[in-house]
Amino acid sequence: MVQRRILGTMRHSLRTMLRGFTSLALVLSFAVGQENPVRHGGNVVLIPPGETLDDIVHQAAHVVPSERQWDWQQREFIGFFHFGMNTFVHREWGDGTANPELFRPSALDADQWVRVAKAAGMKTVILTTKHHDGFCLWPSKYTDYSVRNSPWENGKGDVVKELSEACRKAGLKFGVYLSPWDRHEPSYGDSPKYNEHFRNQLRELLTNYGEIAEVWFDGANGEGPNGKRQVYDWQSYYRLIRELQPEAVIAIMGPDVRWVGTESGYGRETEWSVLPGDQFDVDSVAAHSQQRTIDAAFVPHDLTQQDLGSRERLAHARSLIWYPAETDVSIRPGWFFHANEDSLVKSPETLVDIYYSSVGRNSVLLLNIPPDTSGRISPVDSASVCGMRRILDRTFSVNLLAGANVVASSQRVGMPAMNVLKPDAREYWTTSERVDTAQIVFDLSRQVTVDRAMIKEAIRIGQRIERFHIDAREGASWVRIAEGTTIGYERILRFPRISASSFRLVIARSRDCPALDYFGLFLLGE
Ligand code: FUL
């Protein structure tokens, strides 16, 4: 109950803060790194005045992820490690006054965190290097409030180093969460001074720990009406990241990856990765359009509404952006480890449900598994997340359409319908020019029993499909077994078990020629 209130407060604070940024946007314009605003084929598109809705929708179908966004999207499942002073003082939002003496993990083992993450199928992990309490998990030169003044490893330890090295050894990517809101740092609220402090800390993280795949800027701020007011110089943070770690995506309060809008783990049924670029300063986009990197204007913006990318939302767009969703959720009620929540760790089945409702709804899943006070992931959490992986592996190991005869109502030369059974993203199917509805029929020489479908759009040429359904043949007629709106990078659908030897995928509405990377039917494996 208390936890729920805390989470509610956090969400409220985040929303309040995001609203704050929206109005800030009217005053300031931030020029940052979305790339190549061209009319077709970039991740930012400018809409000239006077375009019809059909023109805009057609252009939306050709907005594509940047290379770094595409790399990130394919990682699908990311681990989050909330660890820090809060772990030792049993708080969710520390106030920055806890004595560094209290940070004393007895057996910190970053290799064990990485082993759990890898066994769970995560491809990247992100560490809370500094949460809102300001306590740094690395010995930052710019503050005394860090591991350097803790008894852990006699002040010689560095959690960021240990985890980044463990990731490198295991072949996982590593990302950093750095809270802009800092309740300890005295310069917080003195805007230019704190901006410099924040950039200094960012520079340490981006230069001393090898490749950084994701930088996660939290929007939360609970200062309240009489609290300190810090005006963040986001643009300067983004520039620094582009300069030092050009491959890294900047998430949440940044231009590459957006917050799905809840911390429940459940994303939208209809999830567009192409949105109106309302949060861009259009004049600045235009001014930078000839540059290769600093070529657009971005301001953090509240994107928590239910409908972000429908035709109605696109109607008045002046620009369009590729801005995909990330779904963050904790395996526990809180983000940090609290021993009294062991019985509340989400079950493997709940995690699978969350996976279907995040990765399976065109989003990346960022699942938090917080290490405990010993500095290890508790066996309760690791059993649950590995249990989830087992169910997913057993379910999705065999595409039951393998070997089917595949016939599409339309296909382009060199891009046959057969390609949807090949997992290789470079080989996809699409229709002939100007054909935007289609069906693909799969005929098997045997009956199969299925209750899950996985569909992937070839998003490297755009996200297009607006409505589809899946049918099974019963005698002479087709019976609808599942339906949906958007697909995007990946869509997973669950439906009652059915046995048949012929199935079809019908694409009933699309913004341009539909293009599919993959289609599979599966049976739940317990
Ligand atoms: C929120 C924070 O306030 C929480 O403590 C947590 O870090 C979560 C991921 O983001 O906004």
- Please give the residue that has the higher pLDDT: either 423 or 122: 122
Between the CA of 220 and the centroid of ligand 1 the distance, in Å, is: 7
Q: Which residues contact 167 (CB under 8 A, 6 or more apart)?
A: 114, 125, 173, 174
Q: Which protein residue has the closest C-alpha to ligand 1 atom 7?
A: 335
Nearest atom in ligand 1 to 80's CA: 9
357 vs 264, 293, 519, CA distance in Å? 10, 34, 18
Does residue 161 contact residue 210 with C-beta atoms inside 8 Å? no
Question: In angstroms, rounded to a whole number, what is the distance separating the alpha carbons of residues 263 and 202?
Answer: 25
pLDDT range class, residue 283, cuts 50, 70, 90: low
Closest CA relative to residue 105, chosen from 85, 90, 125, 122: 85
Percent of the chain past pLDDT 90, that is, above it, reads 81
Between the CA of 113 and the centroid of ligand 1 the distance, in Å, is: 20
Between the CA of 240 and the centroid of ligand 1 the distance, in Å, is: 23
Pairing of strands 363-368, 438-457: unpaired
Ligand 1 neighbours by CB, cut-off 6 Å: 10, 14, 92, 218, 220, 328, 335
Q: pLDDT tens for residues 334-362?
A: 999 999 999 999 999 999 999 999 999 99
Q: Which residues contact 411 (CB under 8 A, 6 or more apart)?
A: 417, 429, 430, 431, 432
Percent of the chain past pLDDT 70, that is, above it, reads 88
Nearest atom in ligand 1 to 368's CA: 9
Between the CA of 430 and the centroid of ligand 1 the distance, in Å, is: 41
| pTM (2 d.p.) | 0.91
Of 12, 263, 336, 337, the residue with max ligand 1 atoms within 8 A of its CB, to mutate for a pocket test, comes to 263
Between the CA of 81 and the centroid of ligand 1 the distance, in Å, is: 11
Question: In angstroms, rounded to a whole number, what is the distance separating the alpha carbons of residues 56 and 401?
Answer: 36
pLDDT range class, residue 279, cuts 50, 70, 90: low
- The token duo for 105 is 């993990």
Q: In DSSP terms, which residues pair with 125 in a beta bridge?
A: 79, 174
Question: In angstroms, rounded to a whole number, what is the distance separating the alpha carbons of residues 181 and 198?
Answer: 10
Of 10, 18, 178, the residue with max ligand 1 atoms within 8 A of its CB, to mutate for a pocket test, comes to 10
Nearest atom in ligand 1 to 92's CA: 5
Q: pLDDT tens for residues 236-258?
A: 999 999 999 999 999 999 999 99
pLDDT of residue 303: 84
Of 335, 336, 368, the residue with max ligand 1 atoms within 8 A of its CB, to mutate for a pocket test, comes to 335
pLDDT of residue 294: 31
* Helix, strand counts (H, E) of the chain: 12, 20
Q: In DSSP terms, which residues pair with 329 in a beta bridge?
A: 367
The string of DSSP letters for 437-488 reads -EEEEEEEEEEEEEEEEEEEE-GGG---EEEEEEEEEETTEEEEEEEES--T
Question: In angstroms, rounded to a whole number, what is the distance separating the alpha carbons of residues 197 and 353?
Answer: 41
Between the CA of 259 and the centroid of ligand 1 the distance, in Å, is: 11
Question: In angstroms, rounded to a whole number, what is the distance separating the alpha carbons of residues 388 and 526?
Answer: 10
Q: Is 417 exposed, middle or buried (0-12, 13-18, 19+ CB in 10 A)?
A: buried
Nearest atom in ligand 1 to 220's CA: 11
Task: Over range 285-293, report the average pLDDT.
Answer: 42
Size (the chain), residues: 526
Between the CA of 218 and the centroid of ligand 1 the distance, in Å, is: 7
Q: Which protein residue has the closest C-alpha to ligand 1 atom 10?
A: 218
Q: Which protein residue has the closest C-alpha to ligand 1 atom 2?
A: 220
Q: pLDDT tens for residues 76-124?
A: 999 999 999 999 999 999 999 999 999 999 999 999 999 999 999 999 9
Q: Which protein residue has the closest C-alpha to ligand 1 atom 6?
A: 335
Is the confidence at residue 290, as pLDDT, over 50?
no
Q: Which residues of 235-270 are buried (b: 16+ CB within 10 A; e: fewer)?
A: bbbbbbbbeebeebbbbbbbbbbbbbbebebbbbeb
Q: Which protein residue has the closest C-alpha to ligand 1 atom 4?
A: 335
Between the CA of 93 and the centroid of ligand 1 the distance, in Å, is: 9
On average, the pLDDT of the chain sits at 90
Task: Over range 130-135, report the average pLDDT.
Answer: 98
Does residue 305 contact residue 279 with C-beta atoms inside 8 Å? no
Q: pLDDT tens for residues 450-462?
A: 999 999 999 999 9
Nearest atom in ligand 1 to 330's CA: 9
Distance of CA 90 to the CA centre of its chain: 27
Q: Which protein residue has the closest C-alpha to ligand 1 atom 11?
A: 220
Closest CA relative to residue 198, chosen from 247, 238, 162, 243: 238
Does residue 213 contact residue 247 with C-beta atoms inside 8 Å? yes
Question: In angstroms, rounded to a whole number, what is the distance separating the alpha carbons of residues 319 and 54?
Answer: 15
Between the CA of 3 and the centroid of ligand 1 the distance, in Å, is: 13
Does residue 265 contact residue 354 with C-beta atoms inside 8 Å? yes
Is the confidence at residue 38, as pLDDT, over 60?
no
Task: Over range 61-80, report the average pLDDT.
Answer: 96
Q: pLDDT tens for residues 373-389?
A: 999 999 999 999 999 99
Between the CA of 85 and the centroid of ligand 1 the distance, in Å, is: 14
Of 14, 181, 218, 223, the residue with max ligand 1 atoms within 8 A of its CB, to mutate for a pocket test, comes to 218
Q: Which protein residue has the closest C-alpha to ligand 1 atom 3?
A: 220
Q: For Cα atoms 7, 8, 9, give the angle at the middle one, nearest 5 degrees.
A: 90
Does residue 114 contact residue 127 with C-beta atoms inside 8 Å? no
The string of DSSP letters for 315-336 reads TT-SEEEE--EEEEEESSSSSS
Q: pLDDT tens for residues 190-238?
A: 999 999 999 999 999 999 999 999 999 998 889 988 899 999 999 899 9
The string of DSSP letters for 214-233 reads EEEE-------TTS------
